[in-house]
Amino acid sequence: AQSVSQHNHHVILSEAASLELGCNYSYGGTVNLFWYVQYPGQHLQLLLKYFSGDPLVKGIKGFEAEFIKSKFSFNLRKPSVQWSDTAEYFCAVKNSGGYQKVTFGTGTKLQVIP
């Protein structure tokens, strides 16, 4: 069975600090990888996705993530965070074959202090 681990549960940063959120998954086959963001009181929105090709993917609002297959990782990065990035971030993995069930990590709450 596939699983996703997000090791940072709560991160507090000052504005302009750099961000890196860890995500590791366990699945032996080909996967699709996602980062979703949930702003306070809202539903989940797609931040970025990896399906194939260039392992460095760029998403909305200056976020990017790097897929490192050998480490089963898909870490999220942003060079300089803003107060408006305060949200909860979820990593998700979907196997690209079979019935394509999406599995989410437990989430990382990011608090950006002005």
Partner 1 sequence: NAGVTQTPKFRVLKTGQSMTLLCAQDMNHEYMYWYRQDPGMGLRLIHYSVGEGTTAKGEVPDGYNVSRLKKQNFLLGLESAAPSQTSVYFCASTESGFRNTEAFFGQGTRLTVV
Kindly list the residues in this chain that would bind partner 1 in the complex (CB under 8 A).
6, 9, 32, 34, 36, 42-46, 49, 51-52, 90, 92, 94, 96-97, 99-107
**In the complex, minimum distance from the CB of residue 76 to partner 1, in angstroms, rounded to a whole number:** 15
Closer to partner 1 by Cβ: residue 42 or 70: 42
Query: In this complex, which beta carbon is closest to partner 1, that of residue 53 or of residue 114?
Result: 53
Nearest alpha carbon to residue 88 among 4, 2, 8: 8
Nearer residue to partner 1 within complex by CB, 19 or 33? 33
Of 13, 9, 32, 31, the closest CA to residue 83 belongs to 13
Provide, rounded to whole angstroms, the least separation between the CB of residue 63 and partner 1. Answer: 15
The residue type of 42 is Q
Structure token digits, residue 40: 């306070």
Closest separation in Å from C-beta 72 to partner 1 = 18
Among residues 14, 19, 10, which one has the least CA distance to residue 107? 10
We find the least distance from the C-beta atom of residue 95 to partner 1, in angstroms, to be 11
Rounded Cα–Cα distance for residues 1 and 39 (Å): 29
